[in-house]
A and B are shown apart, each in its own frame.
Chain A
Amino acid sequence: MQSSNSTPASFWQKLFGDPLRAFGVVSALLLVLLAIAPAKNHFSEWRHYQRGYLRVIRSRGDAVTLQRHFQPGIQQIWHPELGVTDRCTSCHVGLKEATLTDVSLQPYRKHPVIPHATDQFGCVMCHRGQGAATTVDEAHSSTLAWEQPILPERYIESGCGQCHRAALEGTPQLNQGRALLARYGCVQCHTVKLPDGGVMHATQDAPSLSHIADKTTREWIFAWLKDPQAYAASATMPNFKLKDEDIRDISAFLIANSTSLAGDTTPPIPQKAIDPTAGASLYGESFCASCHAVQNAAGNLVGGNVGPELTRIGSKAKPEWLRAWVRNPRTYDPKTEMPHYRFTDQQVATMEGFLLAKADSDLLANVHLDPATPEQIAHGKNLVMEYGCASCHEIAGIRKPENFAPELTRIGSKSVSQLIFLEGMQHTLTDYIAGKIRQPRAFAPGLKMPQYSFTPTQIDALTTALLAQNDRAQTMPPSLAVAGPPASHYRPAGKAGQIMNDLACFSCHAINGRGADMAPDLTWEGSSVQRKWLEDFFRNPATLRPALIRRMPKFNLSNEDIATLSDYIMTVYQTPEFDRDSMPEAGYSATQVEQGRQLFYSKYACQSCHIVDAKADKGYIGPTLTAVGSRLTAAWVYHWLKNPQALRPGTTEPNRNMSDDEATSLTAFLMTQKSSGKREAKK
């Protein structure tokens, strides 16, 4: 007992021999404790980086300016209405210094030029991370308390998508991602709500399967479902990785479920001997390649992607269906983007022969199907419902499923704790989304999402678009939202409207905000062209731009149709800016014409892009002007010269800011360029 008492006592006495010494030691301890807080502050990371910044700028020529801009202490960008409290600029000190372009050392780099000021929205709005943190780790990495790491630069455009709802010139990746979501049918199964209350819509309707037996065989359906990309590398249909028995049953159901449509098939056309080269030239003359691609001998796809790839169409389409389709595609599919060409019987036969020859004997070589049993058909129907085929395809008797796949409206803010990762995968939301797009079936057995064949660039684009679908985007003050142009549902009226629908004008041209951008916008066409030229053009579309591959096809229109269309276009598609008849088409003085010629060739050097004299001029960026006096109205030419962008926003011809006199002289010169009438004479 004595020893146990004496041991602590001796220890105590050793430490504080007497009260004075005890006081001294305790005071010293207290001092050290008190010093911890200021020392922690002094040695904090942000002070370290601020001192480093001062060392970096000390030896520069503009050191005085930079030092004057420098503010010591913790900096903060605060936007309470946006939930932004960003202290990033405490360490990223040189962010706003325009002269620091040569500094590549972080955290002192200047911010690259962007359309917004860096303090307008703060940092985390685009970069993610924890804005309020003041240490490197906490700000950049995910921790237990926070799980929002810095967004990798490759997805940075997702930040733009939080406010900008429509395609933006400076964000090609985001635009591509959103276009892919719509084109590849992602939004058919996954609902993606937009902050303005709408939902993202698919831009491409998958073909209806209600009459598929008219169009193709069960064998082809089998080969297609087995591997759509084996039939056409560019196919948008994903691979569902189905078992052979399942494909057998689905194909059995689709064929059994199909009903025949009147006019869907056409008996063979008695034909004269067909010149084998006629098919290729008809395919070329009809500019089928503007929309359809075909794989060439080198394995490259040549042609557009509006319609399906035709490399192996002969293995797919039944001859009697193809014939009817080429004659008038609208019988089978009233909503198709393909124009009704009005081919003659001979042309239909030629085209049919040409397309049927595009077959691949290997494709169906190993497909042998026994006649379907009722059990197989019933099982096939179940599979079709289970895999949600009707989400994209119209199938008679099966309703489009609702909420078939998880909603992706806020996928960009999904908590990492709610996600299941693959082994070896980084536990971040970005890696999860990209991984899920790359190999959706790997995440768990029994998942239904099909396998797409996206390139790495496409996967990054899709991930960017999905990251933009987050909580912030949904809760952003409406005043910050930048909506796109309102969707146009313009439909031309009356008889002309019917013809335009039949010719699928909107597949290439835009009018009043609706339509594609492959061919010129026709909104003001009536103010622009002369009626006689328009009628001739319908009859025989001549090339205006020598360097262009995609051109207006010839539709074999009747004179009555041409008159109806021309009346409508000349009357309805007029600009309110000027009167098309306000300037005379001829009768300019020789002086004016000569002055215009001088301006054309010398001052404005228009020949660098346009051809007036077919022998001397070579420029072929703009349309050929050899017969412009017979094509355009004088008023259009004059107003175009004054300000091209005012008549057609985004056109590449630069505004030359020419005076009224100069524009009049140039108009006078151009209006003397009449067509020689040779073309009409030939016909």
Chain B
Amino acid sequence: MMAKQFPLAVIILCLALAVSGCVHKSVSAAGPAPTAFGSAIVESSGGKQIGAAGAVLSQPWILQVNDDQGNAVAGAQVFFSGPAGVSFDPPSGLTDSSGQLSTSVVLGGMAGRYQLVASTRTKTQKRIDLKTDEIALDYQRRLGQLLDDKYCSRCHNPESTPERVSNYDNLEVKPHAFTEGDTLNKMSDADLMAIISHGGPALNKSPLMPPYGYTLSKTEMRALIAYIRMVCDPPYQAPGMIYAQK
């Protein structure tokens, strides 16, 4: 009798534990119940930022839920998700009176692109997603970003800000923006190193690009290249490992 009951009891116990585990999880995922539903989710700001690995992004990610007519919907539920290591504060919530919800994002500890997803549900419980990419930089690439900011971006970044006017339009030969993956991904690390240290003429390009070999150290130039590789769009694929078995 006992022997028969024992495994049964164990099974019941396991099931109970498993169920309680599941219940606990679903409770923590759900926030306050939505009071309204939208049919579209749009980004207000905070997408495509470049931040530091493991750190909070400098700008919050702000999303807006709209209805069929494109009007903002207050009280709609938005929940956020991302790859392992990404956290959101708050992880979900209801849109405010202007139909917006703001969350501060902490990216994962490894450098790379993180695809964030913001979702809401329609009246029919259909899930609508909005995706954006945020880039996390590690120490080396952040150093590259600082160098870009100091030496490169005045010509290579065509965008002007009031504080910083771009020199891009003044140049006869237009430099490539560091996000131009189609061009830059074709160049090897050695090519980039050559053009940074010896200037444009090293690769038969314009002398408007000066050499930095006597100004920057090898470490700095490597950091700059690592940064350029990280912000390229489409993303840069390193020449792959050759696998012995394939």
Contact = CB atoms under 8 A, between A and B. Distances in A.
A645 B169 CA distance: 27
B70 interface: no
Nearest to B151: A652
A654 B167 contact: no
Contact of A608 (B55, B110, B155, B243): B155
Interface in A634-683: 645, 652, 654-657
Interface string B221-246: 01100100000000000101111111
B171 interface: yes
B interface, size bucket: 35 or more
B91 interface: no
B171 A460 contact: no
Contacts of A621: 154-155, 167
A618 interface: yes
A59 interface: yes
A170 B145 CA distance: 10
A620 B164 CA distance: 11
Nearest to B160: A547
B85 to A, nearest CB: 8
Contact of B167 (A114, A173, A549, A620): A620
Given A153-B109, A652-B151, A60 B244 contact: yes
Interface string A55-79: 0000111110000000000000000
Name B's interface SS: loop
Nearest to B55: A154
Interface string A147-174: 0000011101000000000000110110
B139 A173 contact: no
A62 B241 contact: yes
A480 interface: no
Contacts of B245: 59
A605 B208 contact: yes
B168 to A, nearest CB: 11
Contact of A619 (B58, B170, B222, B244): B170
A109 B54 contact: no
Contact of A109 (B110, B140, B146, B162): B110
Interface residues of A, number: 44
A63 B244 contact: yes
Contacts of B126: none
A603 interface: yes
B73 interface: no
B53 interface: yes
Nearest to B213: A657
Contact of A652 (B54, B143, B150, B219): B150
A154 B170 contact: no
Contacts of B163: 549
B207 interface: yes
B173 to A, nearest CB: 9
A609 B243 contact: no
Contacts of A608: 155, 167, 170-171, 208-210
Interface in A85-117: 99, 101-102, 104, 109, 112-115
B54 A152 contact: yes
A456 interface: yes
A620 B165 contact: yes
Given A60-B243, A154-B54, A620-B167, 6 more contacts: A112-B53, A114-B140, A153-B108, A656-B211, A657-B211, A657-B213
14 contacts: A61-B243, A99-B241, A112-B111, A112-B139, A113-B222, A154-B56, A156-B54, A170-B139, A173-B55, A302-B162, A456-B56, A456-B104, A457-B55, A460-B56
Interface of B: 52-56, 58, 60, 89, 104, 106, 108-111, 138-140, 142-143, 146, 150-151, 154-155, 162-165, 167, 169-171, 206-215, 219, 222-223, 226, 238, 240-246
